[in-house]
Amino acid sequence: MVAAVRVHKAGGPEALVYEDVQIAAPGQGQIKIKQHACGVNFIDCYFRMGMYPSPVGMPFIAGNESAGEVIEVGPGVTDLKKGDRVAYVGPLGGYAAERVFNADRAVKLPDNITYEQAAGMMLKGLTVQYLLNRTYKVGKGTICLIHAAAGGVGLIACQWANHLGATVIGTVGSKDKAEIAKKNGAHHTILYRDEDFVAKVKEITSGKLCDVVYDGIGKDTFPASLDCLRPMGYFVSFGSASGQIDAFNINILQARGSLFATRPTLNHYAAKRDDLVSMANDLFKVVGSSAVKIPAHKYALKDAAQSHKDLEGRKTTGSVILIP
């Protein structure tokens, strides 16, 4: 038996129950991982509260991302062996001291990436990789608005967009978060709970507005985010930390300047093994070179419920990880 955090009934953070579970032996094409650090993400809250139904029914082990060491290899696995250091983002089952995982969805960790860095960035960092390089190609001269700039995805996005040569405008919920976002790549910050962020974007850009808005907030920042875009700009709605955006009339995009809107998810961008590996290599390169840092709030695995309270209570900055 090993320690894990399961949800038996959808609900608030208290629905996360720390208990012992039995982990099966790895089957065909699978590995067993002794997990050294597990990532906490907003999507874990969506599953916990039932906004996203669990595909494996109840109870389920929460969590979608971890890093650790291969301790057993199932039949048919040729690329990985006992002792290899690996990390993954994938199906539920992350919040546990050990887990069985499909070998073809795990990636080997370079020596210069720690387990804690990996657990803090596989989901969030791969997301930023595709958001900045594929959903909209950010480069020198791009003006981008990143909401929740001091959050997990936000801090990685600010650093990486800055590294690519963009002008980065970040919204944040407090002055402390503004400081953190500025130290991590944001050129300008806006306190979007106190200030009119559209007016501030107009002021900062001298009326030029942004090429792209990365919006993981959802309900509370829509449709104002559209007003931060120049004609033919890109609205990238990649999450719903404040709740989902209500259905809207597509003509709103024409009226606000022939805008593009997309609702992307990592699962599609990293569906093919080749894409997953090349995206991970790109991420390992920017983190390995220290162009992007992965600051993380650490909690013991048994305190998973507290980590969710803090994440949903907007108390965390950067990544959040659990240590089994």
Ligand X SMILES: NC(=O)c1ccc[n+]([C@@H]2O[C@H](COP(=O)([O-])OP(=O)(O)OC[C@H]3O[C@@H](n4cnc5c(N)ncnc54)[C@H](OP(=O)(O)O)[C@@H]3O)[C@@H](O)[C@H]2O)c1
Site for ligand X in 224-283 (CB under 6 A): 238-242, 264-266
* Residue 154 touching ligand X (CB under 6 A): yes
* Residue 189 touching ligand X (CB under 6 A): no
* Residue 94 touching ligand X (CB under 6 A): no
For ligand X, which stretch binds (CB under 6 A), given 27-35, 47-55, 74-82, 214-222?
214-222
Closest approach, Cβ 109 to ligand X, in A, equals 20
Closest approach, Cβ 178 to ligand X, in A, equals 9
Q: Which is nearer to ligand X, 70 or 276 (CB)?
A: 276
Closest approach, Cβ 189 to ligand X, in A, equals 10
Q: Which is nearer to ligand X, 42 or 235 (CB)?
A: 42
Q: Which is nearer to ligand X, 186 or 229 (CB)?
A: 186
* Residue 185 touching ligand X (CB under 6 A): no
Provide the residue type at 7 as one letter: V
d(CA 279, CA 115): 18
* Residue 182 touching ligand X (CB under 6 A): no
Q: Which two tokens stand for residue 213?
A: 């808005």
Contacts of 5 (CB under 8 A, 6+ apart): 16, 17, 18, 19, 61, 62, 63, 95, 96, 301, 302, 304, 322
| Residue among 124, 182, 200, 308 that touches ligand X (CB under 6 A) | 124
Q: Which is nearer to ligand X, 209 or 266 (CB)?
A: 266
- In the chain the beta strands, taken as DSSP E runs, fall at 2-7, 16-21, 30-40, 60-61, 65-73, 85-89, 98-102, 106-108, 143-146, 167-172, 188-191, 210-215, 229-237, 260-262, 296-300, 319-323
3-state secondary structure of 300: strand
> Is residue 40 within 8 Å of residue 63, measured between CB atoms?
yes
* Residue 90 touching ligand X (CB under 6 A): no
> Is residue 96 within 8 Å of residue 82, measured between CB atoms?
no
How many chain residues touch ligand X (CB under 6 A)? 30
DSSP3 helix / strand / coil % (the chain, rounded to 5): 35, 30, 40
CB atoms within 10 A of CB 115: 21
| Residue among 86, 132, 217, 321 that touches ligand X (CB under 6 A) | 217
Q: Which is nearer to ligand X, 30 or 319 (CB)?
A: 319
H or E segment at 312?
helix 304-312
- The DSSP-derived string for 235-258 is EEE---TT-PPPP--THHHHHTTS
Q: Which is nearer to ligand X, 85 or 147 (CB)?
A: 147
* Residue 66 touching ligand X (CB under 6 A): no
Q: Which is nearer to ligand X, 113 or 279 (CB)?
A: 279
Residues 296-315, one symbol each (x = binds ligand X by CB under 6 A, - = not), give: ---------------xx-x-
Q: Which is nearer to ligand X, 127 or 184 (CB)?
A: 127
Contacts of 272 (CB under 8 A, 6+ apart): none
Closest approach, Cβ 238 to ligand X, in A, equals 4
Interface with ligand X by CB under 6 A: which residues?
Answer: 41-43, 123-124, 127, 148, 150-154, 172-173, 177, 216-217, 220, 238-242, 264-266, 311-312, 314, 316
